[in-house]
Amino acid sequence: MNQIPLYPLRFEPIYQYRLWGGRRLADLLTAPLPGDGPIGEAWLLSDRDDHPSRVADGPLKGLTIGQLLDRSPNQLLGKLSRRFHRFPLLLKFLDAREMLSVQVHPSDRQTDYLPAGEHGKTEAWVVLEAGPESRIYAGLNPGTTQDDLRRALANRTVADRLASFTPRPGDGVFLQAGTVHSLGGLAVFEVQENSDVTFRLYDWDRVDANTGQPRDLQVEQAIACIDFAQAVVGPVAPVLEASTPVLRERLFNCEHFRLWRLRGESPFLVGAAGTPRVLVCIAGEGQLEHDGTMYAVGKGDVLLLPAVVGACSYQPRGAVSLLEIALPEVT
């Protein structure tokens, strides 16, 4: 395998049952949804032992991203290869037909609440589909104390203590670890640290149809991880970086990831020399050119551009909208 050069890599989506999910992801992804029950998440790029992403096509088909990293770290991660021993981000599509639990994630510094080998979980959403009934809860109302929150839990009035807004397609929402949050009635793209640590504070008093039981809560851990001093969270203000040949807006820039939205109809460059990038097509279609080969990239497609691939030309067929994600630079 070491003799096989890396190329733009497409991975098989990993579908996850969630009682709050629906069937909307069938309209975003070409891989058929399993069964007929609610599918809440499609893991698009995951370097986790329990759910490893596998290459979908080409000479490296069937290999996991972990195997690629083990055997070709420099080609895949470039100048970041000494910093990361597994891919540090987890990328998903979420179909939240119903409300997620009210939850919080610990930060990297809250090691008492992280299982061995886990990280904290700072994350961000880009809203793909939303309507008048959609809702995002993000952060606490100003002045809310731990005692206030405990009383709200006892009275089942938690939503009254949460800041919220009606999202619109295109909104970007940044959730620092320690932010209480929930969402429902919408579909989003999610980028996060490679972590699966979630503490549920409240689950709307519902019962899981698969088990006939309410889901477990982790109230004490959740409260311990909440940043009670954090301000109310709303949609981010995009930063315009370029207008031609493509409209490039930066939505997120934190210590864990950077994300841009690119919109245009003329050919433009994506990727960067010496560092990996991930492309997510959220509208339209086109082709990515690398080393004389064309790779189709349409709505719902996700491609990892290894560091050795560098910058490539993306050639739209009509109007297209892409997300481009970068790993944190070496500090």
- The length of the chain, given as a count of residues: 331
Domain shared by 40 and 126, yes or no: yes
- Burial of residue 323 (CB within 10 Å: 0-12, 13-18, 19+) is buried
For residue 187, which of 29, 1, 3, 13 has the smallest C-alpha distance? 29
Domain shared by 163 and 96, yes or no: yes
DSSP helix/strand/coil, 154: helix
Neighbouring C-beta atoms of residue 120, cutoff 10 Å = 22
Domain shared by 264 and 174, yes or no: no
Domain shared by 149 and 199, yes or no: yes
Tokens encoding 208: 């899981």
Give DSSP secondary structure letters for 127-158: EEEEEEEEEEEEEEPTT--HHHHHHHHHHT-G
**Rounded distance, CA 65 to CA 46, Å?**
8
Q: What confidence score (pLDDT) does residue 325 get?
A: 98
Domain shared by 209 and 262, yes or no: no
Domain shared by 118 and 254, yes or no: no
Domain shared by 211 and 258, yes or no: no
Cβ(118)–Cβ(197) below 8 Å: yes
Domain boundary among 225, 251, 285: 225
**Rounded distance, CA 250 to CA 34, Å?**
35
Asked if the structure places residue 232 within a domain, the reply is no
- pLDDT, tens digit, for every residue of 273-301? 999 999 999 999 999 999 999 999 999 99
Q: What confidence score (pLDDT) does residue 186 get?
A: 98
Strand partners, 324: 260, 279
Q: What confidence score (pLDDT) does residue 330 get?
A: 57
Number of domains making up the chain:
2
Asked if the structure places residue 158 within a domain, the reply is yes
Domain shared by 171 and 289, yes or no: no
Asked if the structure places residue 1 within a domain, the reply is no
Residues (pLDDT < 70) of the chain are 1-2, 330-331
Give, in degrees to the nearest 5, the angle at Cα 240 between 238 and 243: 135
Domain shared by 216 and 77, yes or no: yes
Asked if the structure places residue 148 within a domain, the reply is yes
> Which range marks the domain in which residue 29 is found?
9-225
Strand partners, 315: 287
> Tell me, what CATH number does 14's domain have?
2.60.120.10
Domain shared by 297 and 221, yes or no: no
Domain shared by 19 and 156, yes or no: yes
Domain shared by 141 and 87, yes or no: yes
DSSP helix/strand/coil, 166: coil
Domain boundary among 200, 225, 250: 225
Measured CA to CA in angstroms, residue 274 lies from 51, 77, 122 at distances of 28, 8, 25
DSSP helix/strand/coil, 302: strand
Beta pairing class for 268-270 and 199-202: unpaired
Q: What confidence score (pLDDT) does residue 2 get?
A: 55
Q: What confidence score (pLDDT) does residue 209 get?
A: 82
DSSP helix/strand/coil, 281: strand
- pLDDT, tens digit, for every residue of 161-190? 999 999 999 999 999 999 999 999 999 999
Domain boundary among 225, 260, 287: 225
Asked if the structure places residue 286 within a domain, the reply is yes
